[in-house]
Amino acid sequence: MTEYIKTGDLSINTLTQEVSQKGEVLSLPHLSYQTMMLLINRYPQAVTFDELMEEVWQGMEVNMETVTQRIALLRKSLSLEQSQQNAYIASVRSVGYRWVPEISTVKSKPQQNIGINKVIVGCVVLLVLVCVAFLYQHKTTDNSLEQPALIKLEASYKNQAFKYLQKHDLNSNQLALGLFRKALSNEPNDTEAMIGVTMALYHQVTKFNQSDELLQEAELLAQRVTESDSKNAKAWTALALVYDAKGEINLAIQHFEKALELDPQDLSAISSLAYLYGLKGNLVEALKMNISQLQTQSFYVDLQTASTLELLGFDRVAEFWYRRADELNPDSVFATHQRARHLMTINQWQQAKVITEQAIARGVKRPELYVNLGLIEWIENGFGPTARQHFLEAIEVDEHHFEANIWAFISQTNPSTAAQAEFEQQWFSQSVPWPDMGVHQAVYDAYFGQAESAINHIKTAYTAGYRNYRWLNLLPPLANLKQNSEFQQLVSQMQNDIGRQRDTVLDAEWLPTSFLDPKNY
């Protein structure tokens, strides 16, 4: 029976490793969860720095500063204000840390989560009934079959976890992560469980606005599998997805291509590779791969097809595929904001605003939705308090989001030189991995009158594969660059490249008959 821990205002499911605070599910990185559980299990005793390093990091080379930083992150995850730093975790001078609130355990889940509990119990009951029926139907004089078959619980954990993983919502993803971890705790070398944890962590970061820190563990686990089982295509795909999320696009492409060498039918690898080809400006190959997947169940194929068609200038056909992606997947965290941006580039501002507000109303949480609203307000009514408020709402959704932070910062009223320097140190001190990140930096530079730097960042974006010149022409901070000859040359280069690729597509033998004819849509 699953055990639940109640401590302070936290409820912890020890099976799925789901942590709730006042009914809201928290997303704790694995190391933070392990740190918290070690402190809880030792309550009311203190846990020393050495014990924390040994039991949480298990052989990894860390020091006291690492522990201190982890405790700080854990406190932040628990939403503790500075004045409440000892509410859950007390510092014990020269020793370590101890858990503060009293702890109680129960064998059934708190009432607010009873629905999920029923699902888990129902699955277990169903599994038992199936096994009983199987044993009854296969009863024989063979003594080995007279005993109940031993069901490996870790296999059940994984099977259920993969079902949750395929639902593509935050709660299901966290349940999947907990079940994969449970399987891994029973069998530390289980490759399927390691891949499962990797995928769940990847989704936490890319879909559900969680910290990039989670990708460190995801990368380590996927690498372990590729090193121990070099012909495991799913492991190469999982590792490629991690590199994709980290912005290491060339590495991601190499690993997806490796996965497809091992398994040419890997839909996830095909879809992801098509997406990255599009990012790199290889629109012909991206469209070819996406069209080849239209009859499959690939989750993002409609959206990626739409995005590539938009860049190639097939707007009416692109809108069909955007609409299909958006309306068939109303819980998608990507479809609406990308469709809205397409509508903005073709001057359908009101429709873009309506579908964005509808997505927010139905619970889709992405910072780009609020950025879109801010831009629409800015372009239609000028840069005032309403636009600023939307940009600030964007970072409330995801405080780590690069684009959202840039718009939120420039929405301030006359930030000081010192504030600009601090912001630039925080956000621009590292290399820019994604093509569109160069455009975001150009927005920042242009807003503060640094035209030359803005042009250089757009050049960097172009070299990396950026081709959406219509979006450049739409962004208000870049308006003053339109008379700049270098800017005009960059836009012209993008237009010429797209024109060449568009002609290649129109002449391609792989293009289905009438696929690009708007009358068919």
**What does the pLDDT profile of the chain (521 residues) look like in tens digits?**
456 889 888 888 877 778 888 878 887 777 888 899 999 988 889 999 888 888 888 767 677 777 887 888 888 888 655 456 568 888 888 788 999 999 888 765 544 443 434 333 344 333 333 343 433 344 443 444 343 433 456 578 888 888 888 887 888 888 999 999 988 888 889 999 999 999 999 998 888 878 888 899 999 999 999 999 999 999 999 999 999 999 899 999 999 999 999 999 888 889 889 999 999 999 999 999 999 988 876 778 999 999 999 999 999 999 999 999 999 988 888 899 999 999 999 999 999 999 999 999 998 889 999 999 999 999 999 888 999 999 999 999 888 889 999 999 998 878 899 999 999 998 998 776 789 999 999 999 999 999 999 999 999 999 999 999 999 999 999 999 999 999 999 999 999 999 999 999 999 999 998 899 877 77
Residues of 463-478 as b/e, b for ≥16 C-beta within 10 angstroms?
ebbbbbbbbbebbebb
Q: Are residues 102 and 115 in the same domain?
A: no
**Residue 98 contacts residue 105 (beta carbons within 8 Å):** no
State how far the Cα of 419 lies from the Cα of 412, in Å rounded to an integer.
11
Q: Are residues 118 and 136 in the same domain?
A: yes
Measure CA of the first residue to CA of the last residue in the chain; give whole Å.
54
Residue 53 resides in a domain: yes
- Residues 6+ away with beta carbon under 8 Å from 481: 446, 451, 454, 455, 487
Q: Are residues 24 and 38 in the same domain?
A: yes
* Residue (of 417, 407, 420, 415) closest to 476 by Cα position: 407
pTM, two decimals, is 0.65
Could you count the other beta carbons within 10 Å of the beta carbon of residue 32?
A: 23
Using CA atoms, how far residue 480 sits from 374, 394, 452, 472, in Å, is 19, 25, 12, 11
State how far the Cα of 97 lies from the Cα of 45, in Å rounded to an integer.
9
Name the pairing type of β-strands 10-13 and 47-48.
Answer: unpaired
Residue 17 pLDDT: 78
Residue 381 resides in a domain: no
Q: Are residues 52 and 73 in the same domain?
A: yes
State how far the Cα of 14 lies from the Cα of 257, in Å rounded to an integer.
38
Using CA atoms, how far residue 246 sits from 141, 195, 240, in Å, is 58, 17, 10
The dihedrals phi and psi of 99, each to the nearest 5 degrees, come to: -80, 140
State how far the Cα of 286 lies from the Cα of 280, in Å rounded to an integer.
10
List residues bridging with 99 in a β-sheet.
89
Residue 274 resides in a domain: no
Domain boundary among 120, 151, 182: 151
- CATH number of the domain encompassing residue 102: 1.10.10.10
Q: Are residues 39 and 25 in the same domain?
A: yes
State how far the Cα of 59 lies from the Cα of 208, in Å rounded to an integer.
31
Residue 123 pLDDT: 41
Q: Are residues 43 and 58 in the same domain?
A: yes
Q: Are residues 38 and 101 in the same domain?
A: yes
What are 68's two structure tokens? 């201190």
**Residue 406 contacts residue 443 (beta carbons within 8 Å):** yes
Q: For the range 6-9, what are the long-range contacts, defined as Cβ-Cβ under 8 Å and sequence gap of 24 or more?
A: 6/103, 6/104, 6/105, 6/106, 6/110, 7/40, 7/88, 7/99, 7/101, 7/102, 7/103, 7/104, 8/87, 8/88, 8/100, 8/101
In terms of Cβ atoms closer than 10 Å to its own Cβ (0-12, 13-18, 19+), residue 227 is exposed
- Residues 6+ away with beta carbon under 8 Å from 380: 349
DSSP character at residue 245: H
> What sign does the dihedral 274-287-290-474 (CA atoms) show?
positive
Run of H or E including 10: strand 10-13
DSSP 345-414: HTT-HHHHHHHHHHHHHTT---HHHHHHHHHHHHHHH-SSHHHHHHHHHHHHH-TT-HHHHHHHHHTSSS
Residue 113 pLDDT: 41
Q: Which domain holds residue 31?
A: 4-106
Cα within 13 Å of Cα(461), Cβ side? 25
Residue 492 pLDDT: 97
Q: Are residues 97 and 119 in the same domain?
A: no
Helices 349-361, 367-381: axis angle to 10 degrees equals: 150
State how far the Cα of 165 lies from the Cα of 16, in Å rounded to an integer.
13
Q: Are residues 133 and 60 in the same domain?
A: no
In terms of Cβ atoms closer than 10 Å to its own Cβ (0-12, 13-18, 19+), residue 400 is middle
Residue 59 pLDDT: 66
Residue 279 resides in a domain: no
Q: Are residues 31 and 15 in the same domain?
A: yes
Residue 392 resides in a domain: no
**Residue 163 contacts residue 124 (beta carbons within 8 Å):** no
Domain boundary among 88, 120, 151: 151
Residue 84 pLDDT: 62
Domain boundary among 72, 106, 140: 106
Please give the sequence-ordered ranges of beta strands (E in DSSP) within 93-235, or none if there are none.
Answer: 96-99, 103-106
State how far the Cα of 122 lies from the Cα of 4, in Å rounded to an integer.
18
Residue 272 resides in a domain: no
- Residues 6+ away with beta carbon under 8 Å from 336: 326, 355, 356, 358, 359, 364, 366, 369
Residue 378 resides in a domain: no
Q: Are residues 8 and 51 in the same domain?
A: yes
Angle ∠(39,41,47) on CA atoms, nearest 5: 40
Q: Match 């009934």 to its residue by tokens.
A: 129
Q: Are residues 43 and 76 in the same domain?
A: yes
Residue 209 pLDDT: 75
The number of folded domains in the chain is 2
**Residue 222 contacts residue 235 (beta carbons within 8 Å):** yes
Residue 209 resides in a domain: no
The dihedrals phi and psi of 457, each to the nearest 5 degrees, come to: -70, -35
* Residue (of 299, 273, 302) closest to 286 by Cα position: 273
Residue 487 pLDDT: 97
Residue 131 pLDDT: 40
Residue 31 pLDDT: 81
